[in-house]
Structure 1
């Protein structure tokens, strides 16, 4: 009952072989969910009102500061660890006086200058 007997190419040719039907379905959905360029976005945005006020935009685009990094670190549960280094947040919280400046500078490089993490250790 739940069986697809065949699929039809855009030119009208009907295919019943499973491997060919797979290709037709893949092409259909690839075309359906891909874009042909930026003009699609322009078409969608026509008539949309600018809903971010200047004050909010300034807040969203301002540079990160060291005190924000420290505040975020203090807000992390002490037994939480990132998957990258497996150090508990407690380690960074307790040793901040030793290495905080270097860590903060690294964070600011990533956040403010969009520096890629892989490049930070070279």
Structure 2
């Protein structure tokens, strides 16, 4: 790599640029780029060697890694909206819920028609008819079976695999409830509940804004 870098410097400093020197420059640049990529892959693979070697054994390395992650993710306390520090689990949860409720709530607009009139229409009447048509039971089934079977659990502890495996038992009930919401706008409040996992974005998070939110449905 150093040899190629030196060659590039020499070619860059040349007073006369010819077609041959241009071709040489491109060739050397390509070789250097390939080596840099190989170096990146090499260090990426090497960084995983300790974990591959010791990670899934009951070793000091494994316990130190697990303890380090636990310490990093542990939330000792958080500042509420009023600036007060709270450290009880229930209070921390309430701060998080309140923050994300406000973050994802819909805003108000008293000039919606004016806003919409300023946007060129892209949806044709035929497209609108298709988009406005009622959902079908088959669409609900297709959507559920496209979900990752072992993705995050919902508050009920059931992942997509449960519904996929026992579709012949629970399928009709699932379809009825989903279509009732999609086509009629009615949904049971409990179905809209979700688990919230806070992931620190900074080293010492103190406010809700310092956390990413991971949903579990």
TM-score category, normalised to shorter length: 0.5 to 0.7
Provide closer, same or farther for how the CA distance between residues 42 and 89 of structure 1 changes in structure 2, counting only shifts above 3 A: closer
The list of structure 1 runs, each at least 4 consecutive aligned residues, that deviate by more than 6 angstroms after superposition, is: none
Partner of 1:110: 181
Aligned residues: 85
Q: CA deviation at 1:92?
A: 0.2
Structure 2 Cα separation of the partners of residues 75 and 50 of structure 1 = 32
2:100 is the counterpart of 1:100? no
Structure 2 Cα separation of the partners of residues 45 and 54 of structure 1 = 16
Partner of 1:66: 137
Larger Rg: 2
Alignment partner of 2:134: what SS?
Answer: coil
Structure 2 Cα separation of the partners of residues 57 and 80 of structure 1 = 33
Q: CA deviation at 1:119?
A: 8.1
Structure 2 Cα separation of the partners of residues 80 and 64 of structure 1 = 24
Structure 2 Cα separation of the partners of residues 42 and 106 of structure 1 = 33
Structure 2 gap ranges (5+)? 1-106, 192-217
Provide closer, same or farther for how the CA distance between residues 78 and 48 of structure 1 changes in structure 2, counting only shifts above 3 A: closer
Q: CA deviation at 1:44?
A: 3.1
- Report the RMSD for the aligned CA atoms in angstroms: 2.4
Higher helix share: 2
Alignment of 1:22-41 (within 5 A): 38=110, 40-41=111-112
**Which structure's relative contact order is higher, taking Cα pairs within 8 Å and 6+ residues apart?**
2
Provide closer, same or farther for how the CA distance between residues 77 and 46 of structure 1 changes in structure 2, counting only shifts above 3 A: closer
Q: CA deviation at 1:118?
A: 2.1
Higher strand share: 2
Q: Give deviations 1:30-70, integer Å, cap 9, x for gaps.
A: xxxx86x63x2333344543321012111211111000011
2:137 is the counterpart of 1:56? no
TM, length-normalised to structure 2:
0.35
